[in-house]
Amino acid sequence: MRTFVYVDAFNLYYGCLKGTPYKWLDLARLCALMLPSHRIERIKYFRARIGSRANDPEAPRRQQTYLRALRTIPGLEIFYGHFLTHPVQMRLANPQPNQSAFVWVIKTDEKGSDVNLATQLLCDAYNRRFECAVIVSGDSDLLAPVRVVMNELKLPVGVLNPQQRPCRVLQKQATFYKHIRAGVLAASQFPDTLTDAHGTFSKPSDWSMRP
């Protein structure tokens, strides 16, 4: 079955990669293991570029190395959203006596990736570019485009959920629904060293130690 895969990178990372040694993830291998009866023709990867942080100045370098690894996969495309950082006032869960119940915090949100994913999914479906779509995400916000593709365009949509908790609305709607397990992640790693048109490069040496 001719299949396109749509990867919500933010949801994938925080669902099953953060704090693990599996961040050097080969998405083509993951798809082959989890979708053995599908012919994966395109993988579309949606994420925002990371900026340098005071507590982690090497984060952009690690991300660029990983994106370089992803570009070695035939048929993979990368679509960029952006991060928006702003101060917000939030309520404390357990304020102490004589302490304000609210505190100002710096909040960072990823913007655009979910919209980009939904747009690509709908455009590809309307143009009949796939026979089946698979979403790598546990984000219930994607329910609306999934419904359009399935109910209006009569095309199947599967879900590979990286979150530990099930997404009930996607589970109920999807043609099929699977959780991504640690064993599959472990079996889906790139080699430590890769080669592309620009030369040889390696997995970030600190990734097995850093969350």
Task: Indicate whether 84 pLDDT > 50.
Answer: no
pLDDT average, residue stretch 167-191: 97
Instruction: Identify the band that residue 207 occupies on the pLDDT scale cut at 50, 70 and 90.
Output: confident
Predicted local confidence at residue 205, as pLDDT: 85
Q: Positive or negative CA dihedral for 137, 140, 141, 146?
A: positive
Residue 113 pLDDT more than 90? no
Pairing relation of β-strands 132-136 and 2-8?
parallel
pLDDT for 36-81, tens place per residue?
999 999 999 999 877 656 566 678 889 999 999 999 999 999 998 6
What CATH number belongs to 2-79+113-202?
3.40.50.1010
For the chain, domain boundaries: 2-79+113-202
Tens of pLDDT along 128-167? 999 999 999 999 999 999 999 999 999 999 999 999 999 9
The number of C-alpha atoms within 13 Å of 75 and in the hemisphere containing its C-beta is 13
Distance CA 185, CA 22 (A): 6
Contact 170, 178 (CB under 8 A): no
Provide the pLDDT for residue 53.
63
Pair 62, 204: CB distance under 8 Å: yes
pTM: 0.85
* Strands 76-91 and 39-48, bridge-based pairing: parallel
pLDDT at residue 92 is higher than 80: no
In 116-204, where do the E strands start and end? Answer: 132-136, 157-161, 176-179, 193-196, 199-202
Q: Which residues pair with 104 in a beta bridge?
A: 89
- Name the helix (H) or strand (E) containing 182: helix 182-186
Radius of gyration of the chain (CA): 19
**pLDDT averaged over every residue in the chain:** 87
Give the pLDDT confidence score for residue 108 in this predicted structure.
47
